[in-house]
Amino acid sequence: MSSDTYALAGSDVTIPLLGVGTWAWGDSSTWGMGTYDTGLTRDSIREAWEASIDAGATLFDTAEVYGGGESERIIGSLLAADLPRAARVVLATKFMPSPWKLNVRGALLASLRASLGRLGVDSVDLYQIHGPISLRSHAALADALAAAHGEGLVRAVGVSNYSVRETRSIAGALERRGLRLATNQIEFSLLRRSPETSGLLAACADLGVVPLAYSPIGQGRLTGKYSAAAPPPGKRSFSNHPMEVVDGIVAELRAIGGDHDGKQPSQVALNWVISKGAVPIPGAKNRHQAEENAGALGWRLDGDEVARLDRAALGGIRSLASRVWQHG
């Protein structure tokens, strides 16, 4: 790692310390596009895209299931409309390995080609297995990823929602096929600290795997705009803790942000994730959110502040199956 990038193992891809999640782009049921959030539009997404890239948050994370493919289609149109910015983008998408996809190699290659079509590209920088829900072995999944890599369709390969044991196992299966596991995308934030306390972050460091932190601002709960009196709308089941408890963490984020020229709670929360060696991928629906989140870059919490936030944080254990099946 250089000071402001991580190299993805087994590839020539580098990623910044902060990315952008695009689940909300084109999604109505959880994020309200076309339903409860009338401010989430193609224009607001384009502005979030531009502001993120301009601020150096150039890693964009999507998935075949986000908005039923709409997130990838939107990204495809953004890439095509602005080639100078497109040249700076690092593109990550995911394969949903549903249990009924028993011919996992054929299913993965078909899904990947469909994703490439929606994105309008010949290859992606990072292709991830969305969760450990396949009935097939890690050897079979590694064979499928190796086939995609061998055909030049993906530059680096990763997983998501994998435990310590699963991460070590698939990393070994990939290594036996001449590939390296580059990333493991996990829920990690001040509302879900278990990847740190369970040893998952340490295992990733040991294997040279970069942890990508999803829902890093607790699906908006750590931004300070929601509270017990004004809870978030929609079906946000990740990081879903009683807002009375969350309010105490937000108060600590505000206090620490105040000592850093008035950094916002979201910026402090993201900086905490970065300080743990993970790359947060916060969702952004508009220019303001993208710019604010990018303000997590360029400064660092000190050790005492990290320890204060560690004490304020929650463990936040949730059922893995429900997280994966929510299609986040």
Ligand X SMILES: NC(=O)c1ccc[n+]([C@@H]2O[C@H](COP(=O)([O-])OP(=O)(O)OC[C@H]3O[C@@H](n4cnc5c(N)ncnc54)[C@H](OP(=O)(O)O)[C@@H]3O)[C@@H](O)[C@H]2O)c1
Q: Catalytic site residues?
A: 66
Is residue 154 a contact point for ligand X (CB under 6 A)?
no
Looking at the Cβ atoms of 211 and 328, the one nearer to ligand X is 328
User: Do residues 250 and 209 touch, judged by C-beta distance below 8 A?
Assistant: no
| Segment (H or E) for 211 | strand 210-214
- Considering only residues 225 to 244 of the shown chain, the ones binding ligand X according to CB under 6 A are 225, 232, 238
Interface residues for ligand X in 117-136 (CB under 6 A)? 130
Does the footprint of ligand X cover residue 266 (CB under 6 A)? Answer: yes
Find the DSSP H helices in the chain. Answer: 42-54, 70-81, 83-86, 104-119, 138-150, 164-175, 194-197, 200-207, 243-258, 265-275, 287-294, 303-312, 320-325
What are the structure tokens assigned to 162, written together? Answer: 């994998």
* Least Å from the CB of residue 271 to ligand X: 13
Cβ atoms of 92 and 59 within 8 Å: the answer is yes
Q: In the set 285, 296, 313, 316, which binds ligand X (CB under 6 A)?
A: 285
Per CB under 6 A, 48 contacts ligand X: no
Position 316 contacts ligand X (CB under 6 A)? no
Q: Which stretch binds ligand X (CB under 6 A): 110-118, 147-155, 218-226, 305-313?
A: 218-226
- 10 binds ligand X per the rule CB under 6 A: no
Q: Does 93 engage in binding with ligand X (CB under 6 A)?
A: no
Nearer to ligand X among residue 195 and residue 232 (C-beta)? 232
| Residue 222 Cβ vs ligand X, minimum distance, rounded to whole Å | 7
Does 95 engage in binding with ligand X (CB under 6 A)? no
> CB-wise, 174 or 281, nearer to ligand X?
281
Query: Measured between alpha carbons, how far is residue 107 from residues 71, 78, 182 in Å?
Result: 20, 27, 21
Of 283, 296, 305, 309, which lies in the binding site for ligand X, with binding defined by CB under 6 A? 283
CB of 62 to ligand X, least distance (A): 6
In terms of CB distance, is 111 or 293 closer to ligand X? 293
User: What residues contact 65, with CB distance under 8 A and at least 6 apart?
Assistant: 94, 96, 130, 327
Which residue in the set 13, 15, 18, 23 belongs to the binding site for ligand X (CB under 6 A)?
23
Q: Is 296 exposed, middle or buried (0-12, 13-18, 19+ CB in 10 A)?
A: buried
Shortest distance in whole angstroms from residue 316 CB to ligand X: 12
* Residue 283: φ, ψ to 5°: -70, 145
Q: Report CA-CA distances (Å) from 327 to 33, 60, 64, 201, 237.
A: 16, 17, 10, 23, 11
Return the range that interacts with ligand X (CB under 6 A); candidates 5-13, 165-173, 215-223, 247-255: 215-223
326's CB contacts (< 8 A; 6+ apart) are 30, 237, 238
167 binds ligand X (CB under 6 A): no
Q: Which one-letter amino acid corresponds to residue 224? A: G
Nearest residue (beta carbon) to ligand X: 21
Our measurement of the distance from residue 328's CA atom to the centroid of its chain's CA atoms, rounded to an integer in Å, reads: 9
- Tell me which residue of 14, 91, 90, 76 sits closest to 45, measured CA to CA: 76
Q: Which residue number, 150 or 233, has a Cβ lying nearer to ligand X? A: 233
Instruction: List residues binding ligand X (CB under 6 A).
Output: 21-24, 31, 37, 61, 130, 160-161, 185, 214-220, 223, 225, 232, 238, 266, 281-285, 289, 292-293, 328
